[in-house]
Amino acid sequence: GFLPLQGHVVRNWKVRWFVLLQDKLLYYKIEGGKKEPTPKGRILLDGCTITCPCLEYENRPLLIKLKTKTNTDYFLECCSREERDSWALDITGAIHAGHPVQVQELHRMKNSFKLLENISLHNIVERMYDSSTGIKLTRNLDQGNRYKETFTGSALVDWLISNSFAVSRFEAVTLASMLMDENFLRPVGVRSTEATRSSDPSEKFLDDSTALYMFAESSKKNTSSKEEVHFNISELSGTIVKQGFLVKQGHKRKNWKVRKFVLRADPAFLHYYDPTKEDNKPVGGFSLRGCLVSALEDNGVPAGVKGNVQGNLFKIITKNDIHYYIQASSKAERVQWIEAIKPLT
């Protein structure tokens, strides 16, 4: 699948197509909408160590770090916690392929941690910001350092339960950990920061009156116009239905670029992001109301499509008659996206 990878010489991000084999992770360049036949590079997994979640980049909370036995660091970024955990589990399984007991333990640990369903993290954060009913921000002291506009771990757990986002303290801690992993919140001070390095997902966020947290910079409302506020709150406040990397044809230059697509409901919008950029802002998007979505045949290049593309194409026509040509990584993925989009049109 597609994952953004940080370069070794120039520390920029490029999206590559990754293929996991038993002893190595290959990555390929996409050119003109098609995977190049020869790998751009490879990561040897023998003696490799994996760090997940990796918190070295504040604006990229869904990273996996691989350190080879020659001490070369690779940073891979996923588009959701579920995708990150799935990649990490499969890579770890390949690293420990000769140790079946360790692989079984990894699967047991993953299956014991269940994410809460049907929860919009954006809506929770909007409620947290509310001046009258949101989380109360206070000054706090931690080992001689004074922090403004913070809240304690136990205060957030109490707030999540009192607002019916969770029914138990365990659920509230799980939900708070998700908010932190998705870069809505960040730890402040030694105690809460140290907890994020725990391998147990339920121990990353502390239900404690001495553990401090605050809103992450990327989730603050630094808007300059009413139009931008409407864009943030209205379009981006819907429940995320599906997200993933797809290849999209540009409108002007007709070139193909990998984009992170996020499908939301209530309101129904499809946004796409440039995964090589540091900010987490959409580079485009449109309302799905009145849209038509359909698969395109793979025998030949359909009209309107430029380049020698890989296949698995589908098309979305907006009610304003704008045509979007999008390429999935497989027929199954194309079907999944079409079936997810259709009910929202």
Looking at the domain 233-342, which fold is it? PH-domain like (2.30.29)
Gap between the Cα atoms of 261 and 327, Å rounded: 12
The sign of the dihedral angle between the CA atoms of 233, 235, 241, 243 is: negative
Gap between the Cα atoms of 35 and 310, Å rounded: 7
Per-residue pLDDT of the chain (345 residues; tens, 9 = 90+): 999 998 766 778 999 999 999 889 999 998 877 888 899 999 999 889 988 877 777 778 788 999 999 999 999 999 887 888 889 889 988 888 756 565 555 555 554 444 445 567 778 888 898 888 899 888 776 555 677 789 989 899 989 988 888 888 888 888 898 888 777 898 888 888 888 876 566 678 898 888 899 988 533 443 333 333 334 556 777 788 999 999 999 877 788 899 999 999 988 999 999 998 877 788 888 999 999 999 988 666 677 777 767 788 999 999 989 999 999 988 999 999 999 999 999
Gap between the Cα atoms of 47 and 42, Å rounded: 14
Q: Which residue has the tokens 């991000």?
A: 13
- Pairs from 222-231 (Cβ < 8 Å, separation ≥ 24): none
Average pLDDT, the chain: 81
Per-residue pLDDT tens over the stretch 72-87: 999 999 988 788 888 9
- 121-220 maps to CATH 1.10.10.10: yes
Gap between the Cα atoms of 15 and 310, Å rounded: 16
Gap between the Cα atoms of 9 and 333, Å rounded: 34
CA distances from residue 68 to 7, 12, 42, 43, 50 in whole angstroms, order as listed: 15, 20, 11, 8, 9
Give me the residue spans of the domains in the chain: 2-111, 121-220, 233-342
What does the longest C-alpha to C-alpha distance in the chain come to? 68
Of the candidates 136, 129, 288, the one whose C-alpha atom is nearest the C-alpha of residue 223 is 129
For residue 70, what are its two tokens? 């020659």
> H or E stretch including 339?
helix 331-341
What single letter denotes the amino acid at residue 209?
Answer: S
For residue 224, what are its two tokens? 């300059």
Per-residue pLDDT tens over the stretch 269-287: 999 999 988 777 888 889 9
Per-residue pLDDT tens over the stretch 118-153: 567 778 888 898 888 899 888 776 555 677 789 989
Partnered with residue 151 across adjacent β-strands are 213
Domains 2-111 and 233-342 in one fold: yes
Rounded to 5 degrees, φ, ψ at 70 are -95, 15
Residue 201 carries which DSSP code? G
Buried b (16+ CB within 10 A) or exposed e, 154-163: bbbbebbbee
For residue 17, what are its two tokens? 């197509």
Gap between the Cα atoms of 290 and 321, Å rounded: 10
Q: Which residue has the tokens 């209530």?
A: 266
Looking at the domain 2-111, which fold is it? PH-domain like (2.30.29)
pTM over 0.95: no
Contact 42, 27 (CB under 8 A): yes
Partnered with residue 14 across adjacent β-strands are 5
